[in-house]
Structure 1
Amino acid sequence: MNATPLKPSNAILIAGIVFAIFYFPVIGQLFYHEGQFTAARIVSSRVVIWGEVLLLYFYAASIEKNKLLLWADKKYNAGFYFASFGALYLLGIGAGIVSKAPALFGYHDDRTLLLRLIGIVATSWPMLILTAVTAGITEELIFRGYLVPRLEVLFKNKYMPVIISSLAFGLIHYRYHSLGEVIFATLFGVVFAIHYQWYRNIKILIITHACVDFVSLCIFKLALHYHLPIK
């Protein structure tokens, strides 16, 4: 199914896109200022991300006169979900491997803030699950579900939506001050944006994204429990 014809002007589209991209990098500074991570701040930041989805929903409905998701989800059989999950997960692992490339050129990434954050999240199962589920749902709805179709309408091609939405996704991970994390998130965004363009199904992206984060956090939790070195 093609994108729903848009009645609003390009200015309204651009305003929504800019809001979607810069909302959390700006608001998030309130929660991640100077790496002051606490359990309360982390939980509050999850609420703020859900707030962005809610605001985009109302913006789409009241200003754009459209749905949050312009592309209705296509229906597929179970085989599609299993195959897509496996392919996306493996490509996500590939993105993680590529993100280590700067080390080959002597660049030593500073993951101090990221490890401090994950260390707090991984100590509590409820927080771990909340973090993984929130990331899977909200980030896919915002960066793939909301942005990609609107960027495609605005630019009238399939390349700029992938580039812009992926760079924007990488941008929100800059708050960890980790180049590797930005590279990983950007490549992850490229893979998921292309999949969304090809198959128009946000559910599999949400499921896979949440599982990637959940498994990663579980591995970190086990490493902490058994006092294994974490790099």
Structure 2
Amino acid sequence: MGFNGKYSIGILLTFVLLVAAMLYSFPVITMITGIRGITADSFFLSRIVIWIVLIIVFLYNRVIEKDSFLLKKESSYSILFYIKAVLSLYLICIIGGAALNALIQFFIPEKISDKLINLVPVFKNNYFLIIFMSLTAAIVEEFLMRGYIQPRIEKIYNNPTAGVIISSILFGILHSTYGTLGQVLGPFFIGLVFALFYKRYSNIKILIICHFMIDFISLMTLNFINIKHLSVFLTL
């Protein structure tokens, strides 16, 4: 099997495992542990499942692909560039996400995701879970969606634009389990911004830091304001 075939299987494996983790981790956790509903313990275990997905994809890369996990060589930048890039990406995602959410509510008014509403009491003043969740989403999703999937799509189609667009669409679809259009288009927009940055600057660490900031600040702010103002920014 050539590299394109191995890359295609790896992309499919990654996306299927992530979707399965999003859809079925809580039912499986309930079956194994007896924990019912979304609690701090069950959510923590569900994030462990996400880490397991990263490990499985890493093993596939090492054993089957036998290639670099990150096909794009990491570029080095100054501390000042890191600061400016993270802040710029954060502001673009927050402002753009807010505008997008306003448009969605104007044309297609929709209620807040029931799943996100159920998560509010889980994260309330649970700072360890907030940090762990934010780190998990930032590290795992960036390594898999931007670091792993995006450059492999680019290689398969020999087209950088295909890597940007398809990986962003997959990132949006991945969040469809929250059941609202906003939770698909919001992550799609963020995924598009991140994918364009990764295509141009080839630095996954900056994306991890910014992704962490988006989720961490949003979840911390849940302690003070209504979730409806933040739901579009959450990329759990």
Report the TM-score, using the length of structure 1 for normalisation.
0.89
1:144 aligns with 2:149: no
Residue 166 of structure 2 is matched in structure 1 by 164
Give, in whole Å, the separation in 2 of the partners of 1:31 and 1:59: 21
Q: Do the aligned residues in 2 keep the contact of 1:121 with 1:131 (CA within 8 Å)?
A: no
C-alpha deviation, 1:140, in angstroms: 0.3
- Which AA in structure 1 matches 2:3? S
Unmatched tracts of structure 2, length 5 or more: 28-35, 229-236
Q: For residue 209 of structure 2, what is the amino acid of its counterpart? A: I
Partner of 2:72: 71
CA–CA separation in structure 2 for the residues paired with 1:185 and 1:115? 18
Deviations 1:146-180 (A, max 9, x none): 01111110010111111111111111211111211
The equivalent position to 1:135 in structure 2, one of 130, 134, 137, is: 137
| Separation in structure 1 between the aligned mates of residue 124 and residue 166 of structure 2, nearest angstrom | 31
Map of 1:28 onto structure 2: 22
Q: Which runs of 4+ in 1 moved over 4 A?
A: none
Partner amino acid, structure 2, of 1:100: A
2:106 equivalent among 104, 107, 122: 104
> Which amino acid in 2 is paired with 1:168?
L
Residue in structure 1 matched with residue 83 of structure 2 by the alignment: 82
Letter in 2 for 1:202: I
Tell me the SS of whatever aligns to 1:221: coil
Contact 2:149/2:167 (8 A) holds in 1: yes
Alpha-carbon contact 1:57-1:67 (below 8 Å) kept: no
User: What is the Cα deviation at residue 119 of structure 1?
Assistant: 3.0
* 1:39 positional shift: 1.8
- CA–CA separation in structure 2 for the residues paired with 1:17 and 1:62: 15
Structure 1 stretch 197-206 or stretch 58-67: which is displaced more? 58-67
Amino acid at match of 2:7: L
Q: Give the equivalent residue in structure 2 for 1:123.
A: 125
Cα distance in structure 1, aligned partners of 2:9 and 2:221: 39
Could you say which residue in structure 2 is the equivalent of 1:4? none
Cα drift, residue 124 of structure 1: 0.8
Q: SS of the residue aligned with 1:222?
A: coil
- What is the identity, as a one-letter code, of the residue corresponding to 2:169? L
Matched, 1:14 2:8: yes
Residues 25, 49 of structure 2: 8 Å contact kept: no
Percent identity, please: 33
Residues in 2 aligned to 1:118 and 1:16: alpha-carbon distance in whole angstroms: 34
Match of 1:3 in 2: none
- Change over 3 Å in CA distance of 1:32–1:187 after alignment to 2: farther
Using the TM superposition, give the Cα deviation of residue 106 of structure 1 relative to its aligned residue in structure 2, in angstroms.
Answer: 4.0
1:165-204 matches, within 5 Å, as: 165-204=167-206
Q: Which residue of 2 aligns with 1:153?
A: 155
Q: 1:27: Cα distance to partner?
A: 3.0
RMSD: 1.7
Q: Could you tell me how far apart the structure 1 residues matched to 2:25 and 2:63 are?
A: 29
Mapped to 2, the partners of 1:20 and 1:230 lie a distance apart of 30
Which residue pairs with 1:40 in the alignment?
Answer: 41
Given that 1:114 and 1:178 are in contact with CA atoms closer than 8 Å, whether structure 2 keeps it comes out as no
Relative to the length of structure 2, the TM-score reads 0.87
User: Matched residue pairs, number?
Assistant: 219
Amino acid in the other structure paired with 1:166? S
